[in-house]
Amino acid sequence: MKTFRFAIAVYSLFFAVVAVYAQSPPPDTGLTANPVFEKNCAKCHGKTGEGRHFGGPPLVSEKTAAASTDDLRNIITNGKGRMPKYASKLTSEEIDTLVQQINALNKK
């Protein structure tokens, strides 16, 4: 009977550990994991922000790294050249998140 209880305890511990791992995959909160980027931006700037598709420049570049947070937010909100404006398509929170994630990608 004691062995049986011990087995139950071991099994529940095992399942608890599995459950914890299943629920918390390593959090990838970067630009490439952002569904907003995937849906709106990846077609021009590439899935990883490497650029090239339909003439969108890379978002990981010296130029982007040199741009201020305000510049980046402004370009995404109001557009620039062939870059469409997202003022009416995304919320300002979504745009802020994109800006932060673009900045994070450019920090080496």
Q: Using CB under 6 A as the criterion, which residues of the chain lie in contact with ligand HEC when the complex forms?
A: 40-41, 43-45, 54-57, 59, 61, 63-64, 67, 72, 75-76, 80-84, 86, 98, 102
Q: Is the dihedral of CA 61, 64, 66, 69 positive or negative?
A: negative
Rounded to whole angstroms, how far apart are CA atoms 1 and 38? 55
Rounded to whole angstroms, how far apart are CA atoms 52 and 73? 21
Q: Minimum Å distance from CB 45 to ligand HEC?
A: 5
Half-sphere exposure (CA, 13 Å, Cβ side) for 89?
12
Helices (H), the chain: 2-23, 35-40, 42-45, 62-66, 69-78, 92-106
Q: Minimum Å distance from CB 26 to ligand HEC?
A: 24
Q: Which is nearer to ligand HEC, 25 or 35 (CB)?
A: 35
Q: Minimum Å distance from CB 32 to ligand HEC?
A: 12
Q: Which is nearer to ligand HEC, 1 or 28 (CB)?
A: 28
Q: Which is nearer to ligand HEC, 2 or 63 (CB)?
A: 63
Q: Minimum Å distance from CB 40 to ligand HEC?
A: 4
